[in-house]
Amino acid sequence: MNRYQQLMIEERELILYLPPSYEESDRSYPVAYVHDEGDLFTDCLNYLDHLFAAGQLDEVILVGISSGNRNREYTPWPAKPLVESGPPFSGDGRAYVDEIADVIKAYIDRQYRTLAEPQHTAIIGGSFGGLISMFAGYWRPEIFGRIGMLSASLWYEGVMDYITQQGRLPAGLKVYMSIGQLEGVYKKNAQKNMFPSNIEAHRYWSEQGVSPDRLHLAVDPDGTHDPIFMSKRFPDALQWLLNGEAEEQVSVKGQTQREDTDYHDQHKEHNIQDNKGNQDNQDNQDNQDNQDNQDNQDNQDSQGKTSLFHVPGTLTWSMQSNENGRKYRIFIAEPMGPPPEGGYPVLYSLDANATFGTLAEAIRLQSRTPRGIPSALIVGIGFESDSPIVSDERFYNFTEFAADDELPVRPNGMKWPETGGIEAFLTFIEHQLKPAVEKQYAVNRSKQALFGHSLGGFFTLYTLFTRPHIFQRYIAASPSVWWKNHVLYKRWEEGKVRLQQNEQLRKLRLYVGSEEKPSMVQDAKELYALLKEHTEVLETTLDEIEGEGHVSVLPSLISPLLRFVSA
């Protein structure tokens, strides 16, 4: 097994480091998620290997997470730019943290031997990465129990007010802080508060009763806002956060002395052995030389760029369910041109946070006259989040209630989220959403389709079997037939009678990727084998898309899906 891997999780690039003993053992490991493509550990991998070999540092899986825009993803809320000519900070940090928690971590826990509990899960970053790591601790303490704040940008507008409003740190959280006394000393803007704000945050948390075994601050008397000072503190942070020792420890490097809350003024510097060659250093020189101005530079680099991409002809609603009180984000892609006789075909798509953009662009392009497919109305049903996959909401809204003994053990060993909201969600769609859409648009009520993927595929089949009158066409991609001991087979037995009562023949399209889990492929095939025998009540097809996995199957089926909807 390659210990150094590059991964792509949905649209996020990751760098994965597996510890030396991973391949030879069957043990599980703590995990540290590190911002900025993992620069904090890729700059000192040889040294980490030495510490592991010497028994001075517990082995850990390291996951470096890329970011296309630090000013957007590493900030907690919008704020004015540091420089007058620069764009403002976007403040999309919550969506980024939720993506790490609900998508990236879930994948890593499934694919690798991890200790998934929060006390074994760290999130660490430098500068803005340290800032968003702190907020990960506030926002998702049930996921991230170990927080590494290296030269954290606590000068950011409103952060110190937020800290004091929150009071004590979330229970169980363990926080490592490091800061250089010279950080921000030459700045004229808000960054001049880099050092004082970190000292103030540590003082406040200490006064709130956070004990020294849960909160540690290391101060470099000569430290500036540069990668060399952040990287040399990274092994210290790993040891203090994940080695599980409560008392103050001597630095694992043997060349530095830890500073306590009185800030010992004696400090011995040590060198970091770089695992990269001279060419790597040259390639990264532009980023490395001026890290003390990184936050400001990111702001300037973004000049002239648009922060959000908008698909023309689309709009968004917010609707609250009368059934369960939950809010849903509704995405609309309006058709081009006047409605045909009978009205527009309409597609209701679940998981709109992830799928709507692709569907909207595809129908906009493919329905162009004179030879395009017939135009259709796209209605995406999503959640009040900027994360593409909102796991807790999906498990609740798309499933029947399942007791623990009706579900398998989760790959990460954690408890299943709340389930059982499927009937309330389906009632919301039938009695609130659809009437609202039909009030606004000329809809062909004989050409209404429902599309769902994975758990959304379960929801689609459940709807077909229990309320087939709502839609005439159904698309289930990689459906979670396994849910609740294959309860869909029971729903089918009841649904056959309901389907016979419809004058119009219902149509179902099943899709699955050939590279998905064998059980997923087998479930789809077995369900198709059953349903295709009942052509008198249901027209069913199955397409196994060669070479595609559970997520990559989605773009491959968009075009045939739209042709099916608009035919």
- Say if residues 472 and 448 touch (Cβ distance below 8 Å): yes
The active-site residue, picked from 454, 478, 480, 566, is: 454
Task: Write down the catalytic residue from 206, 269, 550, 556.
Answer: 550
CA atoms within 13 A on the CB side of 441: 26
Q: Specify the residue for token string 């037939």.
A: 481
Residues 269 and 253: beta-carbon distance below 8 Å: no
Cβ atoms of residues 450 and 471 within 8 Å = yes
In 3-state terms, what secondary structure has residue 541? strand
174-180: strand order across its sheet: 4-9, 12-17, 61-65, 31-34, 121-126, 146-150, 174-180, 215-220
- C-alpha pair distances (Å), 166 with each of 138, 201, 212: 9, 12, 19
CA dihedral of residues 305, 306, 309, 312 (deg, nearest 10): -120
Buried b (16+ CB within 10 A) or exposed e, 16-39: bbbbeebeeeeebbbbbbbbbebb
Active site residue 454: yes
Query: Any bridge partners for residue 377, and if so which?
Result: 346
334 is catalytic: no
Residue 120 bears catalytic tag: no
**Phi and psi angles of residue 57, each rounded to the nearest 5 degrees, phi first:** -145, 130
Q: Which of 225, 516, 548, 566 is catalytic?
A: 516
Q: Are 567 and 366 in contact (CB under 8 A)?
A: no
Instruction: State the catalytic residues.
Output: 454, 516, 550
